[in-house]
Structure 1
Amino acid sequence: MKTIKVSVVTPDGPVYDAEVEMVSTKAKSGELGIMAGHIPMVAPLQIGSVRLKNEGRTDLIAVNGGFLEVRPDVVTILAQTAERAETIDLARAQAAKARAEQRLQDSTDAVDAKRAELALKRAVNRINIAERNF
């Protein structure tokens, strides 16, 4: 099967760089599946997982927003933050989830509630990917 080069980059540096058969992720417009030869496009990403399939195995990366750029031979993901499944600190993610839930309960300000809601989504995403429950 043909492959496509994928690079996942954050402001802190590269997170992933490899040839894969397929990329699957959630854009704001919906679920995307990208293979070699895909039409060029740019799409904003949601908080979610990037699934990279190659030779029967799937690598998972947790991304917290950003953009996906597709060219026929290269996919570049520019993410605000990104973590490979195997590098996620599950205890830290669970603690972040508990803090966000507590902030949501205690919040009286709409801005604080929105920030806590986003923090909760990020934590749940990291937990799901670390546990492979996406």
Structure 2
Amino acid sequence: MALPTKLQLNIVTPDQSLSYEVDEVAMPGQEGDFGVLPGHTPLFAGLRTGTMWYRQGNEKHFLAVSVGFAEVLPDRVTVLAQVAERAEDLDEARAQAGMARAEEMMGAMPHEMDFERARLSLLKTLQQLQADARRGAGH
């Protein structure tokens, strides 16, 4: 049986579902970043908040993802995540404002749970800005 030459990438969040035919995918796994090519061994992995990308031909596309799971099969990758925002859809001004709010909350909240929520919000915003910067740099 011949190995597949492409991957079907499906990204599902509570707000949207995206589907692409891709040559390669890289994701921020709980145990570290990992890449997937067609024919990959089946795998189920937890995802952390970070930047993922996929390649179509010579063009890379970046997404900011937040907490989820990835199912990898030889011919497809399915990502289930709380958030998945394409870099081209990110609003840098909105992300900067969100980062400022999160930093302000972190300084003003003595309760541990509120601090952790603000820290996660800050981390998500930083990842969004990083995804947007990578898209602009053409990595």
Q: TM-score, normalised by structure 2?
A: 0.91
- Distance in 2 separating the partners of 1:23 and 1:115: 29
Deviations 1:45-102 (A, max 9, x none): 0101111012111001111111100111110001111111100111111111000001
Q: Secondary structure at the match of 1:81?
A: strand
Conservation of the 8 A alpha-carbon contact between 2:51 and 2:130: no
Q: How does 1:1-134 map to 2 (within 5 A)?
A: 2-14=5-17, 16-132=18-134
- Distance in 2 separating the partners of 1:31 and 1:130: 18
CA-CA distance at 1:13 after TM superposition: 2.2
Amino acid at match of 2:85: E
Percent same amino acid among aligned pairs?
37
CA-CA distance at 1:131 after TM superposition: 1.9
5+ residue gaps, structure 1: none
- Distance in 2 separating the partners of 1:87 and 1:59: 11
- Distance in 1 separating the partners of 2:16 and 2:89: 15
Structure with higher strand content: 1
**Deviating runs (4+, > 2 A) in structure 1?**
none
Amino acid at match of 1:125: Q
Q: Secondary structure at the match of 1:37?
A: coil
5+ residue gaps, structure 2: none
Q: Secondary structure at the match of 2:5?
A: coil
